[in-house]
Amino acid sequence: MNIFTGELVGTFLMILLGNGVVANVVLNKTKGNNSGWIVITFGWAMAVFVGVFAASKASGAHLNPAVTIALAYLGKTPVAAIPEYIGGQVAGAALGQLLVWLSYRQHYLATDDVELKKATFCTAPAIRSGLNNVITEIIGTFVLILAVLFIMAPANSLGALDALPVAFIVLAIGLSLGGPTGYAINPVRDFVPRVMHAILPIGKKTASDWAYAWVPIVGPVIGALLAAIVFRQLN
């Protein structure tokens, strides 16, 4: 696999399993209905594990523009390769979300709560406040990227097995910092499924909340760059 294909496959698996667990928990008449936040955070961590493990050899498994931007800033990823990375991430996220919808199509139609339906696609704040929401996303992404950079350091790197500690980081962020915004910490993870929410026929639905869509983009990008700057100062 090349970089584009690796990022496509890894992001596809991550979104399918990550938003798939959200659908299992919040949509009506599923086997996992109302199983709670712990199931969602653990499921998302396992989704990241599978995606990173699958893509690690082909592309380094960025699966997140924030990771790509941080590595480009540090000179670990060529700037010219950024479009290939992000292009694969976008395609993979779209395909993954399409299969979430196909898997749970009947359950979308059986669910009347339009906000719960939207939650299987993209994030939303528990308390809406643009400044505070973006600060939360900055902090969560800062933790993710700084930890990932240390994991990737030559003295610590385990190759494909880096997928496991990355999954633990995502689990920790979800449990500790996920409450205010749903911890997008990844622009593609939020924006592309938000587009899919707008276009897929899921029955009765609300607007895709484009007024909030900037937060899971701006916050992670700022958080990633801050983490890269700190990492450079520490090494």
CATH number at residue 213: 1.20.1080.10
Output the pLDDT for position 156: 53
pLDDT digits (tens, 9 = 90+) for 124-176: 999 999 999 999 999 999 999 999 999 887 655 555 567 899 999 999 999 99
Domain count, the chain: 1
Three-state secondary-structure class, residue 141: helix
pLDDT(64) > 80: yes
Q: Mean per-residue pLDDT for 51-71?
A: 95
- The Cα 26–Cα 17 span in angstroms is 14
Output the pLDDT for position 169: 96
Share of the chain above pLDDT 90, in %: 94
Task: Give the chain's mean pLDDT.
Answer: 96
b (16+ CB within 10 A) / e for 79-95? eebbebbbebbbbbbbb
Three-state secondary-structure class, residue 160: helix
This prediction's pTM: 0.96
- The Cα 223–Cα 69 span in angstroms is 10
Give the residue among 118, 128, 68 at the shortest CA–CA distance from 97.
118
Task: Please give the residue range of the domain that contains residue 60.
Answer: 3-234
Output the pLDDT for position 92: 98
Output the pLDDT for position 155: 59
Output the pLDDT for position 162: 75
pLDDT digits (tens, 9 = 90+) for 66-119: 999 999 999 999 999 999 999 999 999 999 999 999 999 999 999 999 999 999
